[in-house]
């Protein structure tokens, strides 16, 4: 996998104002990053190409906090027997994908109670009609039928708490999370800073980082639908831990069309566009070069080349994952160290928010 460097900080959102943390920071001048993935199942290539690979590209130059957002994972139906296993496996995949635990803090969200506490405070500050606009809630609640939890509705506020606790400058995410990021900014700016700051801002206003390529990898069954862990059809996605046999089978069955040659910009061919994008990201070749090379190639041949590339790109991740998942001592150590660093930052922000919002403080 060729590391991407082309990303954009959403132009409409530029301008992260100074906050109290900037004045007090001292420890490092690096800009801070916060991001995470829910342990709702096996991570797929969309999570990798749209989010985790960006963290890898950014980690050297930023102070990076990466959580496994397990509190988010219970906002939809889940299996308690799988939660802890998926949490560990997600953390191991961060490292297997190239995150260096020596320079990044990797931790589990539910281990730091400040996330839930700040979430409650932000709940009380956020107008309900802001929440009713959230597209992901609308989409996911349709899938849940009569079983929609308050947690699912509240998901974006918990996400805002995750981000704001770390005074994150940047939040690298896929396209689907952009609206949630905008909400976090609005809550911080309009409902906390504007109402309660006496001078400097209480909370940092974060900016999303969305990669120009790979920010929305689509389903293998429907090129107009996002690839997703919760899609009931397992064949709609390639998981990072899929074996070569499974990958081959899934790509063979992936939706194609009746055209000859691969194209990127034909609106009638979303599946061709999606696979070309993935192939370009994995091979490091430009889409235009691929379109040229593959203009006379049929789906059968392309799928074979594509499958080989996928298997080759995922192999090193799978090998590193196997080493780590079989070394619970090492994984635990990474998560303990990550938690210690993250908790210190989170608790500091929470105290600051509580103090500025008028909560009673014990005499020391």
Q: Position of tokens 């209480």?
A: 202
181 lines the binding site for ligand AQP (CB under 6 A)? no
Establish if 204 lies at the interface with ligand AQP (CB under 6 A).
no
Residue whose CB is less far from ligand AQP, 20 or 220: 220
Tell which one of 16, 38, 53, 75 touches ligand AQP (CB under 6 A).
38
Query: Contacting ligand AQP (CB under 6 A), which of 91, 163, 217, 350?
Result: 217
Whether 37 and 239 have beta carbons less than 8 Å apart is answered as no
Residue closer to ligand AQP (CB basis): 226 or 269: 226
Q: Which is nearer to ligand AQP, 56 or 353 (CB)?
A: 56
Find the residue with minimal CB distance to ligand AQP: 50
For the bound state, the minimum distance from the C-beta of residue 10 to ligand AQP, rounded and expressed in Å, comes to 13
Q: How far is the C-alpha of 2 from the C-alpha of 17, rounded, in Å?
A: 33
Nearest Cα residue to 145 out of 76, 88, 92: 76
Q: Looking at 98, 101, 156, 174, which residue binds ligand AQP (CB under 6 A)?
A: 174
- Token pair listed for 228: 């997703």
Query: In the complex, what is the shortest distance from the CB of residue 35 to ligand AQP, in angstroms, rounded to a whole number?
Result: 6
Q: Residue from 19, 20, 34, 37 that binds ligand AQP (CB under 6 A)?
A: 37
Q: Does 269 bind ligand AQP (CB under 6 A)?
A: no
Instruction: List binders of ligand AQP among 225-264 (CB under 6 A).
Output: 226-230
Which residues in the 320-359 window bind ligand AQP by CB under 6 A?
A: none
- 114/119 Cα distance (integer angstroms): 8
**Binding-site residue total for ligand AQP (CB under 6 A)?**
19
The catalytic site residues sit at 140, 226, 229
Stretch of 224-232, 262-270, 290-298, 338-346 lying at the interface with ligand AQP (CB under 6 A): 224-232
173 belongs to the binding site for ligand AQP (CB under 6 A): yes
Pick the closer one to ligand AQP by CB: 233 or 301.
Answer: 233
Q: Smaller CB distance to ligand AQP: residue 144 or 297? A: 144
Between residues 21 and 226, which has the closer beta carbon with respect to ligand AQP?
Answer: 226
What minimum distance in Å lies between the beta carbon of 54 and ligand AQP?
Answer: 8
Binding residue for ligand AQP (CB under 6 A) from 1, 32, 40, 282?
40
Around 186, how many Cα atoms within 13 Å sit in the side-chain half-sphere?
Answer: 14
Q: Which is nearer to ligand AQP, 226 or 339 (CB)?
A: 226
CA 121 to centroid of chain Cα atoms? 24
Query: Length of the chain in residues, anyone?
Result: 364
Q: Indicate which single residue of 64, 110, 177, 349 sits in contact with ligand AQP (rule: CB under 6 A).
A: 177
CA distance 80 to 83: 5
Residues of this chain that interact with ligand AQP (CB under 6 A) are 37-38, 40, 46-47, 50-51, 173-174, 176-177, 215-217, 226-230
């Amino acid at each position: 996998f060729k590391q991407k460097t082309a990303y954009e900080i959403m132009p409409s959102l530029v301008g992260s104002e100074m906050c109290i943390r900037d004045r007090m920071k001292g420890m490092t001048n690096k800009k801070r990053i916060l991001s995470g993935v829910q342990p709702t199942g096996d991570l797929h290539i969309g999570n990798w190409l749209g989010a985790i690979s960006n963290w890898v590209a950014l980690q050297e130059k930023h102070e990076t906090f990466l959580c496994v957002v397990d509190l988010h994972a219970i906002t939809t139906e889940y299996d308690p027997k799988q939660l802890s296993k998926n949490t560990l496996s997600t953390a191991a995949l961060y490292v297997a994908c190239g995150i260096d635990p020596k320079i990044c803090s990797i931790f589990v969200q539910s281990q730091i109670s400040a996330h839930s506490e700040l979430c409650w405070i932000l709940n009380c500050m956020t107008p309900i009609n802001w929440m009713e606009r959230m597209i992901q809630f609308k989409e996911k609640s349709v899938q849940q039928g009569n079983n929609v939890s308050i947690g699912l509705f509240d998901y974006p506020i918990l996400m805002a708490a995750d981000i704001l606790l770390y005074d994150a400058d940047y939040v690298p995410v896929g396209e689907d999370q952009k609206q949630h990021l905008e909400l976090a900014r609005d809550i911080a700016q309009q409902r906390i800073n504007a109402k309660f700051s006496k001078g400097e801002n209480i909370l940092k206003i974060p900016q999303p980082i969305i990669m120009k390529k790979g920010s929305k990898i689509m389903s293998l069954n429907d090129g107009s639908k996002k690839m997703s862990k919760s899609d009931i059809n397992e064949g709609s996605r390639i998981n990072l831990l899929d074996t070569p046999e499974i990958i081959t089978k899934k790509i063979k069955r992936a939706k194609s069309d009746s055209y000859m040659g691969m194209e990127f910009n034909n609106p009638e061919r979303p599946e061709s566009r999606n696979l070309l994008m993935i192939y370009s990201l994995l091979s490091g070749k430009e889409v235009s070069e691929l379109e040229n090379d593959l203009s006379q190639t049929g789906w059968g041949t392309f799928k074979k080349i594509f499958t080989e590339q996928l298997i080759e790109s995922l192999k090193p991740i799978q090998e590193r994952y196997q080493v780590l998942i079989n070394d619970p001592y090492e994984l635990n150590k990474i998560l303990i160290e990550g938690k210690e660093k993250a908790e210190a930052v989170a608790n500091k922000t929470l105290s600051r928010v509580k103090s500025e919002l008028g909560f009673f403080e014990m005499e020391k």
